[in-house]
Structures are given as structure tokens and as C-alpha cells.
Amino acid sequence: MASGEVTTLRVEPSDGLSKSRRAYLWIRARIAGQEFTPGYRLVLGAIAGELDMSVVPVREAIRQLEAEGLVTFERNVGARVAMVDDAQYRFSMQALAILEGSATALAARRLTADDLRRAREINERMTETLGHFDPRTFTRLNEEFHATLFARTANPRLLELVEAEWARLGHLRDSTFAFVPGRAQESVREHEHLLQLVERGAPLETIEHAARRHRSATLDAYLIHEHPEEALGLPAS
């Protein structure tokens, strides 16, 4: 997953979530979906009115998003969606490689035949898009593929961390594949390899390494495209 088109999360009061959690998910989904773009001012009163709650839980949600780097808060200005930071993108991709690799390995033995069939169908759809490549569509399918593989991880905190990094990436980059479209073909091949590892019951450390390396390879492709001197270890010109 690199980042891309994200379906806006619908959060209803009946979900059993606290008000601050509802506000957090609502705001984060709109940042990830590019509805709230970098620099967008987050007006607490307006958000509270939209969600039919007081500003207190909205303020708590803003503080959490600020801690995650998605929002900045300036005195006498207020809260704004954080500006795009190239270094932060790299940090998030590196973190996601570790988190997603672990989540995929922990879920591997819990995946059903239906899960694996669905993941392969998604990957086949990704392959079909290569002839008329649309980075956003490819990225959305990419996220669906990986979510299918790690959704059964029996560690809710790990899932929260993965989702938080996905949201951050959605803010930092509309789609990595827009920068390195050639990476898409390699990506679907690596997906198939990952599925084969899970299906044959490969050691969990092998699955984790494959999932981690898969994510890191996308970052490597981006760095070679955008910062070739750095990627090759050469002095900047």
C-alpha cells in the first residue's frame, strides 16, 4: 500500500465508539481521501456540528492526529492538515514495511481459503489494470490486497498502527505508483509470491521478510526515481 484513493469511512453513533474516536476516524478518513488537503484549516466548531457533538471530543481527536503527524497546531491560527513532507513519507514507508510485515506474518496461519481466493482475485484485477494504468485505482486495490492478508491478525493495536500509517501515507502521497508506474508490474508478481508462501505454510519469518521487502522495494523505486544520488549512495550534486 502505498497510498491512494481511500473510501471515506462512515462512522455512525451506533458503532459503539467513543465520541473522540468517532471524530478521529471521521477526520482521518477525510485527510486520507484528500478531501482535507495539506494546509486545510480544521475548524473544531464546524466539525463538532457535522458530527453532532461538542468540541471537546473533537479537540481530543485533533490532539491524537497531531501526535501522529497528520495535523499541526499553531497558536492564534489553530489546527491545520500538515503539509507534505518528503522525509516523513520515507519514514512512514519504512515504518509500514515493519508493521505490515509483522501483521501479515501473524495473520498467515489464520487465513481461510476464501481469504486467499479473494486476495488472488484482487491481484488479478490489479494485473488487468496494467494495460490502462490508473495509479489511484491500482493503489486502492493494492491496499485491499494487503488488508485481506493481515486483517485476521490477532493484535488490534498492530492493526491500528498499520491503519494510522496508511492514513499518513494517504496524506503525504496521492499514489507512489504515479511516480514510479513501472513498479506496479513487479508489485503484482511479488503479491503472487507472497500468496504462494502463505499457501504452502512457509515459516512465519520468511513470510514476514517477504512482506517487508515488498513494501521496502516500493520505497526503493521511489528513491531511485526522485533521489537517485541518495539511493545509490552518491554525493548530492
Query: pLDDT tens across 210-230, in order?
Result: 999 999 998 898 888 776 655
- Does 2 reside within a domain? no
Which residue range(s) make up the domain with 35? 13-81
Q: How crowded is residue 99: how many other Cβ atoms within 10 Å of its Cβ? A: 23
- The mean predicted confidence, pLDDT, of the chain is 85
pLDDT band at 135 (very low <50, low <70, confident <90, very high): confident
- pLDDT score at 9: 43
pLDDT of residue 85: 67
32, 56: one domain:
yes
Is the model's pLDDT at 83 over the cut of 90? no
Q: Indicate if the pLDDT at residue 13 is higher than 60.
A: no
Residue 237 lies in a domain: no
Query: In which residue are the cell numbers 498467515 written?
Result: 108
Of residues 185 and 76, more confidence is placed in 185
Q: Is the dihedral of CA 119, 137, 39, 18 positive or negative?
A: negative
Say how far apart CA 43 and CA 36 lie, in whole Å.
Answer: 12
Confidence (pLDDT) at 230: 59
Query: Is the pLDDT score of 43 beyond 70?
Result: yes
For the CA atoms of 87, 88, 91, 93, the dihedral, rounded to the nearest 10 degrees, stands at -110
Q: What is the pLDDT of residue 88?
A: 80
8 lies in some domain: no
**Number of domains into which the chain is organized:** 2
Does residue 4 sit in helix, strand or coil? coil
Tally the C-alpha atoms within 13 A of residue 189's C-alpha that lie toward its C-beta.
7
The answer on pLDDT for 11 being more than 50 is no
DSSP state of 132: G
94 and 87 in contact (C-beta within 8 Å)?
A: no
Check pLDDT > 50 for residue 125. Answer: yes
Residue bearing the bigger pLDDT, 28 or 69: 28
pLDDT at position 50 over 80: yes
Q: Are both 69 and 165 inside the same structural domain?
A: no
pLDDT value of residue 236: 46
**8-state DSSP, 175:** -
Same domain? 190 vs 93: yes
CATH number, domain with residue 38: 1.10.10.10
Q: Is 64 exposed, middle or buried (0-12, 13-18, 19+ CB in 10 A)?
A: middle
pLDDT at 86: 73
Least confident of 37-41, 167-171, 180-184: 167-171
Query: Do residue 99 and residue 196 come from a single domain?
Result: yes
SS3 state at 237: coil
Q: Which percentage of the chain shows pLDDT scores above 70?
A: 84
Do 136 and 225 fall within a single domain?
yes
Domain match, 137 and 220 both:
yes
Q: Which amino acid is at 89?
A: Y
